[in-house]
Amino acid sequence: MKKQIILLTLAASIAASSAAGCGTSAPAVASTAPASDGQTAENSENAGVGSISPASAEAAVNGEGAVTVTDQTGREVTLDKPAEKIVSCYYLVTASLIPLGEKESLVGIETKADTRGLYQLAAPELLDLPGVGSGKEINVEKIAALSPDVVILPKKQKDAAEKLTSLGIPTVVVNPETYDDFNGMIRLLGDITGRREKADELVSYYDRSVEEIRSLVSGAKERPSVYLCGSDSVLRAAAGGMYQDEMIRIAGGTPVTEDLPDTKWVDITAEQLLAYDPEYIFNVSYSEFTTDDIRNNTALAEVRAVKENRLFTVPSRLEAWDYPQPSSILGIYWMTSVLHPELLSEDDYVKKAQEFYKTWFDIDITKDQL
């Protein structure tokens, strides 16, 4: 109890000093203003994948003993033992811990959990946990009150991670912006929870699935051009350095925004989209607009995808399949079935999705739930 009181006092002090002395570039903590939208990268050399010290490898497998890991920003973090009380302020992490068998270890999660269809089916108990933050802001006091063994944050909250560390709370930062970094995040989660063997199984499944898709599309006659948009405007594009760009490539498509050297959503003009003239437009499931809105946008009437009615919304109703999380492999299967239906049918992709959710989340889903 004394330790908890000290942590809460320090947390309140840090939150107050942050609100009083930080400019707009400071991380959002507690009630401070949210950080800007978008996925970010800025990886240091070899830091993105994450690693574990040789002395900690056995502990990660056996679930006992101290564990020292290097997170995906190059920070070294040591836990007294594999984490049994976890706070996740990042949906991609929470969704990845479930198939590792760690949903019972979560004591606090990201806000707006009640909007996650996956949680309602696969882990309804998570809906009763306190929401302690997100990629935009975290609540230090709430986190400290939970006395977690580890807190896991997205890279955009790296500065907040240092504040939590100063309170004596081990904090791991992840940044799954590429295919390799996604796999690295899964292994990192396995290391800090003592579930490395299960994490390796999940990574192997993902790798096998990707190789299956690559083999399928290797014989394709063409790689159709694709524009992936989302968020609040059809002119907000997934830049060339984003995970979504890599998904399109694996699925046998050519992302038209590969020339945009960024790792977050970027705004383009209608003239740029007309110049790209994509054969397909993919709209993410969490957009504030629909494919009908795109179709009825007179400024885009001459875009090939619009003229040929090749406008699609990425599934699913359970979760966003374009995020770097385990179900993103289903997003790649879906993209493949749209771009190359002669190689992968809709029925094939639906079967893959049903097998995935049964294997990794122990839930049965219907086609209508996708």
The DSSP annotation for 291-336 comes to HHHHHT-GGGTTSHHHHTT-EEE---SSS-TTSSSTTHHHHHHHHH
Q: Supply the pLDDT for residue 355.
A: 98
Q: What DSSP state is assigned to residue 221?
A: S
What band does 46 get if pLDDT is binned at 50, 70 and 90? very low
237 near 227, Cβ under 8 Å?
yes
Structural domains of the chain, with CATH: 2-181 (3.40.50.1980), 219-369 (3.40.50.1980)
| C-alpha R_g of the chain | 21
Supply 354's token pair.
């049903």
241 vs 338: CA distance, rounded Å: 23
174 vs 153: CA distance, rounded Å: 6
Q: Supply the pLDDT for residue 135.
A: 80
State yes or no: pLDDT of 89 exceeds 80.
Answer: yes
For the segment 102-126, what is each residue's pLDDT rounded down to a tens digit?
Answer: 999 999 999 999 999 999 999 999 9
Region label for 252, one of left (φ > 0), alpha (ψ between -120 and 50) or beta (otherwise): left
For the segment 137-171, what is each residue's pLDDT rounded down to a tens digit?
Answer: 999 999 999 999 999 999 999 999 999 999 999 99
| CA distances to 56, 126, 352 from 153, in Å | 22, 18, 30
Longest dimension (CA), the chain: 68
Residue 101 CB neighbour total at 10 angstroms: 11
| CA distances to 98, 151, 185 from 172, in Å | 18, 6, 10
pTM of the predicted protein model: 0.84
Q: What DSSP state is assigned to residue 33?
A: P
